[in-house]
A and B are shown apart, each in its own frame.
Chain A
């Protein structure tokens, strides 16, 4: 499973690289698949409400009402119909790629399995929505879908009566089952919305809206497609005549041809087993959970930065339980913590300028502590020689940095690049341990830990606490968000950076040395 994931991730990154060039990391649709899913959902919802005004819910008049929508009111309801269909189809595409991508990124283990597990029912509800939608048109395709679906349901030993008999013949056709489908086509998408909402509950500020530029482009694309190639029906349903050849929607109905090849019950088994396997994926293979972040009250001043920066809503501020003169203290919910260490990188007390023996920050990872980061930084940096000495901070989710090491280059792997507090950059440069710092990690648009790269950028730019002090010359800091597929580019950028450092010469502090204290 791990090998499959690595393979998938490396290949995806090549494709993402192409999109990065076209869209830039911020608009890259591959980093916005969940948000695009939400976007398409809203397009489907709005167009669906409009269509419902003109739709006749009785089986005898449904087809005529859809014909009116498509042909008479083509400029409004017709466009809405096309948007309704195409946005639904697009939703399937982005959902499937999203599933593959989240798998490839490995963001589904431990506490993060919550999003994965809640994603699985989304698959079922999307398909149920789409299939019932095609039913309502009551054209030839609807006839095919109605008969094939009820025949398929009848292979399950749960319905007493054969429900396919509802669609046996024109003379015995009843509106009863059709009305049920209308109801289901409204109820299921509403439940879907609820599950989608549950799906993102464990994320702080989840990406549910694509960036404006991407949203506008996507909407224009859907509009153009709807005008250029409107969705149409395939002739009225007539149960006396078999729907022999149908133009399938291959996003929603790819399973149906299999019903003509294998027994329906076998296909149920395939989907049933597939669902169970998907639900088990977070435990394949089982791994031991990492120790979660812990709070040290003696060092916590209740500033709340860890709460702001935790990407998984795992920290909250609660009333103080000790006698320190602060109103609140940080509390970690161990069930939600993914051990990314970003909170430690945000804590003002996590600064290497403090005496090593006293370096216990307010919040820290027991197995990858800030003190340990300081020790490793110093021992690695102090072995460096030559000019343009550089320390590279990378993350567990990024590329293996060992190959970059050399007499003048040290590498250090933190849980997330944002685990490294900005004061560390200040420390190693202003104390002359190195000549420059190089930061790397996942690809810019999509950090494994969701927000790590953003926080690092904002801290360095002075837009987010704790920010990198202005005295640190920014030309001594370089970043390449390389992901796992870019080791060569990383080596090249590092070379170029060291060349620039050589031009800068040794670092001289502008300010006098005594204000080393950092807060």
Chain B
């Protein structure tokens, strides 16, 4: 093989490598969400109420404890699961019973979910139960929403002061 052939082949190899690097560094495009849809993203982190009632210790019980541990109330640390629902135009979009995190089940419950929906106007209702009630919800928020294509519509929650936050 002559020198000039070799140089030509080398150039070809460099060009091929450069084309592969250049092309795949930013192509082909990836469609993560259909651009004609909107996204409703539910993300909340909230601690359910304590599972049991606090109990007042008797005098004898208090005396058994070390002096620095003597507190009049004994409160269980375990928390209740949350019940969270999203209702879009009367259809149930999401309903989960969310257990508390933490080894002792004493942490917050966490919800994270995404829903791709057609753009347009909707009635969105979000509700949450964090107590041990049998029926109904402790928090509820409903609003008329207008979704644009590719909009990231967030459903967040903060117990104080406002409850559910739509944005």
Contacts and interface: CB of A to CB of B under 8 A. Distances in A.
Given A21-B6, A23-B13, A162-B110, A245 B29 contact: yes
Interface string A245-260: 1111111000011001
28 contacts: A29-B13, A85-B25, A86-B22, A90-B21, A93-B17, A93-B21, A161-B45, A161-B108, A164-B43, A169-B154, A169-B167, A217-B14, A224-B18, A241-B150, A241-B151, A241-B152, A244-B150, A245-B29, A245-B30, A245-B32, A245-B33, A248-B26, A248-B28, A249-B26, A250-B28, A251-B24, A256-B30, A260-B32
Interface string A82-101: 00011001100100000000
B150 A246 contact: no
A265 interface: no
B45 A86 contact: no
Interface in B77-116: 101-102, 107-108, 110, 112
Interface of B: 1, 6, 9-10, 12-15, 17-18, 20-22, 24-35, 37-39, 41, 43, 45, 101-102, 107-108, 110, 112, 150-152, 154, 156, 167
A498 to B, nearest CB: 26
Interface in A1-40: 19, 21-24, 29
A240 B17 CA distance: 38
A86 B21 contact: yes
B6 A22 contact: yes
Given A22-B6, A22-B10, A225-B21, A245 B35 contact: yes
B29 A151 contact: no
Contacts of A148: 32
A225 B18 contact: yes
Contacts of A168: 41, 43, 154, 156
A249 B21 contact: no
Given A160-B101, A169-B167, A240 B152 contact: yes
B112 A247 contact: no
A148 B29 CA distance: 16
Contact of B32 (A86, A229, A243): A243
Interface in A248-277: 248-251, 256-257, 260
B1 A217 contact: no
A382 B152 CA distance: 85
Contacts of A241: 150-152
B9 to A, nearest CB: 4
Interface in A207-241: 217-218, 220-222, 224-225, 228-229, 231, 239-241
Contacts of A19: 13
A64 interface: no
B33 to A, nearest CB: 4
Given A21-B6, A22-B6, A242-B151, A231 B34 contact: no
B152 A21 contact: no
B29 A164 contact: no
A242 B1 contact: no
| Listed residue (A23, A224, A248) with the most chain B CB atoms within 10 angstroms of its CB | A248
Nearest to B111: A162
A424 interface: no
Nearest to A154: B112
A144 interface: yes
B24 A250 contact: yes
A56 to B, nearest CB: 23
Contacts of B1: 21
Contacts of B34: 244
A240 B151 contact: yes
Given A169-B152, A224-B18, 7 more contacts: A23-B6, A154-B112, A160-B101, A172-B156, A240-B151, A248-B30, A251-B25
A162 B45 contact: yes
B151 A249 contact: no
Contacts of A243: 32
Q: Which 6 A-B pairs have the closest CB atoms?
A: A22-B9, A244-B33, A247-B26, A221-B14, A250-B24, A225-B18
Contact of A242 (B28, B33, B45, B156): B33
A273 to B, nearest CB: 25
Contacts of A217: 10, 14
Given A168-B43, A241-B150, A244-B150, A90 B17 contact: yes
A243 B101 CA distance: 30
B112 A164 contact: yes
A171 interface: yes
Given A241-B152, A243-B32, A160 B20 contact: no
Given A162-B43, A244-B34, A239 B21 contact: no
B112 A162 contact: yes
Given A240-B151, A249-B26, A22 B21 contact: no
A221 B13 CA distance: 10
A410 B29 CA distance: 60
Interface in A119-165: 144, 148, 151, 154, 160-162, 164-165
Contacts of A85: 25
A165 B25 contact: no
Given A246-B30, A248-B29, A225 B22 contact: yes
Nearest to B154: A169
A8 to B, nearest CB: 21
B32 A144 contact: yes
Contacts of A144: 32
Contacts of A169: 152, 154, 156, 167
B27 A242 contact: no
B87 to A, nearest CB: 21
Nearest to A241: B150
